[in-house]
Structure 1
C-alpha cells in the first residue's frame, strides 16, 4: 500500500473473488463499466471504476459496507428513480458483491 492510500474495507462474510464472479454471472456489465471484467460493458448505469472512493452509494447513502449492502438488496427503496433492478441474490451473495465493489479503487 502506498503512502496516503486508504485500506480496503472488509465486508464481514464477503469474498471479493466470489463477488467478481457473481457480478459477471448477473450481467452487471450490461449496464455498468466493471473494471477488469473483460466483458462488453454498458453505460446505462454509472461506471463502477473507483467505487470504493465514492462518498455516497447512489448519491444518497454514505458509502459504508452496511449501506452498500442495503442498496444492493433493494435499489429502488433507496433511490426510487433508479433503473437498477433488485438482484435475485441472497444475503451471502450480496456480501460477496459488496466485498468486490469495495476493492474498486
Structure 2
C-alpha cells in the first residue's frame, strides 16, 4: 500500500491544532465562590490609583495605558502571564507584584491582604 503525503500547508495546520496553544496544560477552572467585597474593591482601585496604569471598566477615569487593560479579567486564565488565575494568586500579585515577577512595571503600593481581597473581588466581576 502506498502512503499519501500531506501538503505542507496541511502539515502546518495539523501541527497548530495538535499543539494546543500557548499553555502545556489546560487552565484551572475558576472557583465557584469568591471572597471579598467588590463594591469596596472598586473604591480601593480608585483610591490606590490603579486606573492611572490600567483601563478598568466601571472605574471613573481608569483609562491608563501602561499596564494591560483589565477588561474581562474574571475570564482570564493567567495573571501576569505566569500565575494561574486564582483568588490566592491574585491577592499575592496585588500585594507584592515584585515578589512574583521581579522588575515588572507594576509597583508595590503597600496594599494589605484585606484590601487586595476586595480589589480581587471587584476584578472577578469583570467577566
TM-score, with length taken from structure 2: 0.71
In structure 1, the gaps of 5 or more residues are 1-5
- Superposed counterparts of 1:16-95, under 5 Å: 16-95=38-117
7, 10, 14: which one aligns with 2:33: 10
In structure 2, the gaps of 5 or more residues are 1-28
String of CA shifts for 1:59-87, please: whole Å, max 9, x gaps.
00000111111111110111123110112
**Tell me, what secondary structure is at the counterpart of 1:92?**
helix
Q: CA deviation at 1:7?
A: 8.2
Q: Distance in 1 between matches of 2:71 and 2:32?
A: 16
- Aligned CA-pair RMSD: 1.8
Greater Rg by CA? 2
TM-score, with length taken from structure 1: 0.85
How many residue pairs match? The answer is: 99
Q: Identify the structure with bigger relative contact order (alpha carbons < 8 Å, sequence gap 6+).
A: 1
